[in-house]
Amino acid sequence: GAVVSQHPSWVICKSGTSVKIECRSLDFQATTMFWYRQFPKQSLMLMATSNEGSKATYEQGVEKDKFLINHASLTLSTLTVTSAHPEDSSFYICSTTGTGDNEQFFGPGTRLTVL
Amino acid sequence: QKEVEQNSGPLSVPEGAIASLNCTYSDRVSQSFFWYRQYSGKSPELIMSIYSNGDKEDGRFTAQLNKASQYVSLLIRDSQPSDSATYLCAVNRRNNDMRFGAGTRLTVKP
């Protein structure tokens, strides 16, 4: 599999501020990383696919100007939630594929609470 | 119709019993199928993958796939309280386009 870390594990911020979440692939050079969001008692929803060296591909309904994704290296992708609002409070999880057959391995997640 | 459907549960089984989790998917071109376990407040952990029709066994877990019926299942034998979690069915349609079911919450009672 692949080992993925995320930082921070949790963050609390005021409405209107921006929050950056880092996702690192520790043992695998990941050309592609995925960002998911999970609201309580709901399933994972793919937000965007992050491609190293190019623009991210966003899912329908996800605002690219609000959720900025940067994948500047093969081991690091960042998600910045700009001008966060309480409705952005959620569990944000990144993942990457390993060297196997399309399975995805998840980071530990970042719990964002916007006051 | 949802792309990946699972019974939300909760499914409750006694310790030592077999837990059976089911999943159906809508896209016939789907090629690979996964079961993830998610403990409360944690991220999903891959426990099984299956790509061909039939059964695949790994320890106490058996995944079953029937592409004609667009059906995937997970059996957990000798269920333990530590198996209590939400189990997510995931279907990879193509090019890493993975879709998740809403999950089935399993409770194993001692």
Cβ within 8 Å of A, B 21-50: 31-32, 34, 36, 41-46, 49
- Please provide the DSSP assignment of A27-68 as one string: SS--SEEEEEEE-TTS--EEEEEEETTS--EEPTT--TTTEE
Which residues from chain B sit within 8 angstroms of residue A33, using beta carbons? none
Residue B18 contacts residue B82 (beta carbons within 8 Å) = no
Cross-chain Cβ contact A93/B34 below 8 Å = no
Q: Which element (helix H / strand E) includes B47? A: strand B45-50
Cβ within 8 Å of A, B 89-108: 90, 92, 96, 98-103
Cross-chain CB nearest to B101 (options A43, A100, A108): A43
Cross-chain CB nearest to B32 (options A93, A102, A111): A102
SS (H, E, C) B85-110: EEEEEEEECCCCCEEECCCEEEEEEC
Q: What is the pLDDT of residues A29-80, one digit of tens each?
A: 888 899 999 998 888 999 999 888 888 999 999 999 999 999 888 889 999 9
Percentage of chain A beyond pLDDT 90 is: 70
Does B53 contact A at CB distance below 8 Å?
Answer: no
Cross-chain Cβ contact B44/A108 below 8 Å = no
Q: Give the range among A52-56, A61-65, A81-85, B69-73 with minimum mean pLDDT.
A: A52-56
Cross-chain Cβ contact A108/B103 below 8 Å = no
Q: Give the range among A81-90, A93-102, A105-114, B74-83 with minimum mean pLDDT.
A: A93-102
Q: What is the pLDDT of residue A72?
A: 82
Which residues from chain B sit within 8 angstroms of residue A109, using beta carbons? 42-43
Residue B26 contacts residue B38 (beta carbons within 8 Å) = no
Cα–Cα distance for residue pair B16/A45, rounded to 1 Å? 33
Residue B3 contacts residue B33 (beta carbons within 8 Å) = no
Check whether A99 has a pLDDT greater than 90: no
